Structure 1
């Protein structure tokens, strides 16, 4: 019996050590994730900082979203075709954006083009119908952005293949609307398009947890 207890004790110690090692791995990934987030933000800000005001754009440090905030430059109301001004911006932005991200490819899971709208539609439209119409509109808009970006002549085949494998077009309608200080919807700021970098840190952590 005493021998059996010793076996169980050794197993318990080995398991606790294993859990401790895996916990340290998760901690290291979390630290590396934070450092990587900062590095990507700094690289984007260094590359595009001078154009942000000109393009009326912004970069969110927490979500790594490069956001185009001027709806009158992006699309006509209710339309999904890119306006000429937005095409000019994308001609400059996309090749440089891909060059910046090239250094971080191993840590990037996805680049998500996110389309956002306000909650309004035509006056007689119900709230529910307006939501789904805006969902369709925002999806069509992000698809237009992705298509135009992919077909740019300045991209080489390696870049095009990476876009195909890692870019996604997501229409979010008014699900993440911008609010005024009093809590009401800021319809102007809600209409926007963003390029959001999703890193793979959470995938690495899940692999470790699944292996415990």
Structure 2
């Protein structure tokens, strides 16, 4: 009797491993089914799934499924980016019309009409002092040149004005002063011939020609009250001849003091057509 009970207990306990085995087989089958399902996932669906978990700074997205755990075949619509409008893409009708540019006025230089009055006044001065053989007067569109030969003003090799020339220079200065408003600049130029000079006072013709021009300039400023802003002096030596230096007559013409008078110009503006 006891032996039968023992045999029944052994046989009942020996069937318990089947339950454990069945559970293990079921789990293994489930695991392999899952592996198989993952191995056949669509690449597009996989990217959508990844994007659902890592989809940007705005947080995750929910991917709709078909009820079996598979992602819906229709992906959600992507947001349409708003195009940026640049100035070049602005519609033509929104552009303001370009204003018509006003043409810039063209400056017009107009010299005073009374330049002939200055010229005629100087010619009258030359005739009054009977200087026709010693003074030349030339006129261009821009300036008047009055040439005094050196023997009228100076002794040979000297830079002091002759005393008898003071009256002549005073009368000439009065003519210039009368047209002071019309005269822009008076340039006094000293010239010599090509014969060299070498003294303690004038080592070369540069010094002699410059000293003579400065002597006349200082006389007009200090004795006649000319403005230093409208008068200048320069010496050219023998390097600006007006005649040949091969003859006595030519050298006499080259030894001179020139007054170059530049007339003022009135600047007006007129619009272009």
What is aligned with 2:12? none
Structure 1's 77 and 46: CA in aligned 2 closer, same or farther, altered over 3 A? Answer: closer
- What residue is the counterpart of 1:42 in the other structure? 120
TM superposition score normalised by structure 2: 0.51
Question: What CA distance in whole angstroms lies between the structure 1 residues aligned with 2:154 and 2:241?
Answer: 18
Change (3 A) 1:79 1:48: closer
Q: How many residues align?
A: 170
Kindly report the root-mean-square deviation, in angstroms, between the aligned alpha carbons of the 2 structures: 3.4
Matched, 1:192 2:230: no
Structure 1 position 111 matched with structure 2 position 190: no
Instruction: Tell me, in whole angstroms, the C-alpha distance in 2 between the residues paired with 1:114 and 1:41.
Output: 19
Matched, 1:143 2:207: no
Which is greater in Rg?
2
Structure 2: runs of 5 or more not aligned = 1-91
What CA distance in whole angstroms lies between the structure 1 residues aligned with 2:253 and 2:179? 27
User: In 1, Cα distance between the equivalents of 2:144 and 2:95?
Assistant: 54
Change (3 A) 1:186 1:97: same
TM-score (norm 1): 0.64
What displacement does 1:144 show? Answer: 1.1
Name structure 1 gaps, 5 residues minimum. 126-131
Change (3 A) 1:4 1:77: farther
Aligned positions of 1:93-112 closer than 5 A: 93-94=172-173, 96-102=174-180, 105=181, 107-112=182-187
Structure number with higher relative contact order (C-alpha < 8 Å, ≥ 6 residues apart): 1
- Contact 1:115–1:141 (8 Å) recurs in 2: yes
Contact 2:122 2:172 (8 Å CA) reproduced: no
